[in-house]
Structure 1
Amino acid sequence: MGSSAEFRIQIRCSSNMRQRRTNTTLLSIPIELIVDILLRLPVESLIRCRCVCKSLRSLIFDRRFVMTHLNNIVTGINMNTNSFRLLVSHNDSLLLMYCEGSKDGDGSHLAIKEVDHPAVMDTDVCLCILGSCNGLVCLEIGDDNSIIILWNPCTRDTKVLPQPPYHFQDKMFHGFGYDSLTEDYKIMLATEGPSEVMMNVFSLKRNSWRTYEYLADLRTTDQQGCFLNGALHWITFEGVTSARNCLYVYNDPTEDTDFCIWIMKEYGVKESWTRVIKISSEILAQQVFVEVDKLELKVVCILENGEVLMDHEGKVLVSYNPKTRTFRNIIKGKEDDEFQATTYLETLVSPVTAAEGGGGANNM
């Protein structure tokens, strides 16, 4: 992307001593070099760069730039490894969790901070996280008269979607992903009809819903689908998640079986399944303060430092470090508390302009 033309940036400089302003051309650099530098920056830095001048703002808003920056993050070309985020909805708060380097240089730790709600919602309404893809988070807000929005937590861009053709209470499972064949973001909501499963599919390109009848008896143990390699994944007996472009599955711990996590090292190859973590069910039960036969664990995500975040019934969020074999309680709610979580990447993708198509990658 880019041409051989030079890209001139006009910046107004000020002098406090002389109280005067002068216009001067500070840079005359080939656009390829500028683009290459900018593509290596994290989103937070790019947002600040957009305020420098109109030329930089225009470049960073360019759809081709947004796509290239996204693909660099997903494929690992962008070496900024701190773009992975975990968004947690807990009571009336939205919490952001991510790995950051320790000040003493000894590895990394989990940082937690509170973030503002999307501007279109109140802070005291019911919120359901439907999924995330390419930096966009799909949220369902409200109970009976619910609305669905697409939201970029990093840029704060928000798009309110048309009312879905289903009732909140009837939802069985759901997912949000990017269809690379049609270059379109889609939401899938499965609801239970009188004698069949109704598949409600929203197309961001069309800005509309379509409903399909599906006669098969579909049952999953996890409501939120996992998007990887251009497909949504559900598992019908235990749990599924993804991390670092790999698919992970895990079992339900019991008195007779330990809690194990397997990774599919080569996508689609059955023989590549490898067990990477094994934890005693008895020790896990002690961490979440329940008996083994009452464990209801879900792997929320696997962080870049290898820590595994797990939740028990949406009430306890615990971190397990496989290197030190130690646990840490992140959230321990009250009896009537409940939280939801989703992982996402920090990107420039806008839910408003993403409808134009061509703004996606197949993994996150």
Structure 2
Amino acid sequence: MSKELPKDVIIDILSRVPVRYILRFKCVSKSWYALFQNPKFIAKHFQIQTANSDVTALDASFLFTPHKSTSPPTAAANRNVGLILSNSEKPIKIPIEIDIPFLSISKPLRVCGSCNGLICLSILPIASIILLWNPATRVFKDLPVSPIDRPRAGPIKVVLGFGFDAITNDYKVLRIVYFGYPLNQVEMYSLSTNSWKEIKTRVQFLIFESSCSVFLKGRFHWTAIGFEEMHGKKLIVCYDFREEAFHYIMPPEFDFAGWDGEGEDSSMSKVTWSAVALKDSLAVIGSAGNGSGKRFEVWVMKEYGVVSSWTRYRSFELQSKVGRPLGCGLKGEFLLEKDNNQLVLYDSDSQRIKSLGNHGVAYWSDVFNYVGSLLPIKGGKVAQRTNLSSVVPDFFFVRKMDLTVE
């Protein structure tokens, strides 16, 4: 009798192992190496990693662009992506050694989205280079230059959204280019066709920087200021990758009256809020207060797209100097940033605050949930300095001040 376990048992066991360990097992045997590249195994592995709460506790992370160090900038310092494990106090920095010609070495990367273990990165300030990247496998792909005709005016602002269209099984990147209201362009990149196309639509909103961007239910969400009939109101703008259309969602009505951090009248307190994903539901975190304390309200949209379904999920007060809310973990914990760049994780169920140290998130950076995967990138290649140095920027988005001075 064979002493080996049945093949299906082995596959089931391996599908429950975090991706960082799977990659170490590639050298065990040729059969395991082939298994880890099998699309069925890759899909099963990722499904289990995201569905099992015990597994996601091991490999679920927050992904962001780290705060710039006070020391003199270096290529490594500015080419890093910050990754904090939800169950660890020690952050993991993923070095992305990009040696890109034509751009100053001090230009950092922006994390623009995370979906199914793949992340979208762009070069600041206005996305002259866009990359799709799997940090676990180190496979990357630089997006081609768009052939779309441009106006003579240079871009003022560029906003990206990255998501997955489950109907067409395709990863897509949305690019909104602001030239100055009302002049703008919207275009979308498809990984399956490796091409860009223009989306003919009006952009009647201005998206905020670091607005806690969210990809959820096939749509990418931002917080923004609406123009024209929206009368300058702050709202949630979402783009449906399937319909190829923008939609608006009005936020709930917060009630912070009578609270300013010290129990006194707060009618004049400034209320801020951001959109987040909370356990597969669209949610917002609102905050008000000043001095040494703040009050937070978390509202969840019970029925997606139905404004009347906004329901208050949690309300809590924190006396420490907490600044902006950055996002929610896969288990519903809240990532917050203190005024001194300290990151903390707040569990509203246990009411416990966990310090994650002085790591900091760049003020212009969003924070995304990340679960490692073995998912491939069509047309991608393993990152090395030799192939990364051949990445060519879209010169329409390169400003003179960004060029390298010899």
Amino acid at match of 2:44: T
* Bigger shift: residues 224-233 or 267-276: 267-276
- 2:188 is aligned to 201
- Compared CA separation, residues 130 and 33, structure 1 to 2 (3 A): same
Q: Report what 1:291 is aligned to.
A: none
Question: Larger % of strand: which?
Answer: 1
Could you tell me which residue of structure 2 aligns to residue 278 of structure 1?
A: 315
Match of 2:8, SS?
A: helix
Shift of 1:327: 6.9
- Find the counterpart in structure 2 of residue 163 from structure 1: 145
The alpha carbon displacement at 1:47 in A equals 1.2
Tell whether the 8 Å contact from 2:89 to 2:356 is kept in structure 1 after alignment. Answer: no
Post-superposition offset of 1:207: 0.9
Cα deviation, residue 161, structure 1: 1.5
Supply the distance in 1 between the matched residues of 2:205 and 2:170 (Cα, whole angstroms).
25
1:156 shift after superposition? 1.8
**Matching residue of 1:233:** 221
Of all paired residues, the percent bearing the same amino acid is 28
Please, which runs of 5 or more residues in structure 2 have no aligned partner? 69-76, 225-233, 235-272, 382-406
Q: Tell me, in whole angstroms, the C-alpha distance in 2 between the residues paired with 1:168 and 1:135.
A: 34
Give 1:347 shift: 1.0
1:126 CA drift (Å): 1.8
Please name the residue that 2:199 is paired with.
212
Asked whether the equivalents of residues 200 and 210 of structure 1 are also in contact (C-alpha less than 8 Å), the reply is: yes
Q: What is the rounded CA distance, in whole Å, between the counterparts of 1:249 and 1:168 in structure 2?
A: 34
Residues 314, 72 of structure 1: alpha-carbon distance in 2 compared, 3 angstrom cutoff = farther
Q: Which has the higher contact order (CA 8 A, sep 6+)?
A: 2
Structure 2: distance between partners of 1:168 and 1:160? 22
The correspondence for 1:81, drawn from 51, 57, 80, is 57
Where 1:71 maps in the other structure, the secondary structure is: helix
Q: Compute the displacement of 1:354 (Å).
A: 8.4
Q: Is the 2:86–2:329 contact (alpha carbons within 8 Å) kept by the matching residues of 1?
A: no
Unaligned stretches of 5+ residues in structure 1? 1-24, 101-109, 289-296, 356-364
CA distance in 1, matches of 2:16, 2:188: 35
- Cα shift at 1:244: 3.0
Q: Which residue of 1 aligns with 2:108?
A: 126
Distance 1:168 1:61 in 2: 43
Matched, 1:117 2:92: no
Partner of 2:43: 67
| Letter of the 1:241 counterpart | V
In structure 1, the partner of 2:244 is: none
Q: Which residue of 371, 376, 397 maps to 1:350?
A: 376
Contact preservation (8 Å) 1:40, 1:78: no
Of the three residues 313, 327, 337, the one matched with 1:300 is 327
With the length of structure 1 as denominator, give the TM-score of the two structures: 0.71
**Alpha-carbon distance, 1:58 to partner:** 0.6
- 1:185–1:211 Cα change, 3 Å: same
Query: Could you say if the C-alpha distance between residues 332 and 344 of structure 1 is closer, same or farther in structure 2, counting changes exceeding 3 Å?
Result: closer
Q: Secondary structure at the match of 1:81?
A: helix
Is the 8 Å Cα contact of residues 320 and 327 (structure 1) preserved in structure 2? yes
When the two chains are superposed, the root-mean-square deviation of aligned CA atoms in Å is: 3.7
* Aligned mate of 1:244, from 256, 262, 279: 279
The alpha-carbon deviation at position 76 of structure 1 amounts to 3.5
Going from structure 1 to structure 2, the CA distance change for 1:313 and 1:154 (only over 3 Å counts) comes to farther
Q: How many Å separate the matches in 2 of 1:214 and 1:231?
A: 16
Partner Cα distance (1:331, 1:343) in 2: 20
SS at structure 1 position matched to 2:373: coil
1:262 matched to 2:299: yes
Distance 2:367 2:49 in 1: 21
SS for the counterpart of 1:213 is coil
The match for 2:358 among 331, 352, 358 is 331
Kept in 2, the 8 Å contact 1:157–1:352? The answer is: no
**1:168, 1:76 → 2: CA distance?**
47
- In the alignment, residue 165 of structure 2 is paired with which amino acid? D
- Assess, with a 3 A threshold, how the Cα gap between structure 1 residues 343 and 67 changes in structure 2: closer, same or farther: same
Task: Specify the SS of the correspondent of 1:61.
Answer: coil
What TM-score, normalized by structure 2, do the two folds share? Answer: 0.64
* 1:129-163 deviations in Å (ceiling 9; x for gaps): 11110001100025467211111122222112113
Aligned equivalent of 1:362: none
Q: Which residue of 1 aligns with 2:25?
A: 49
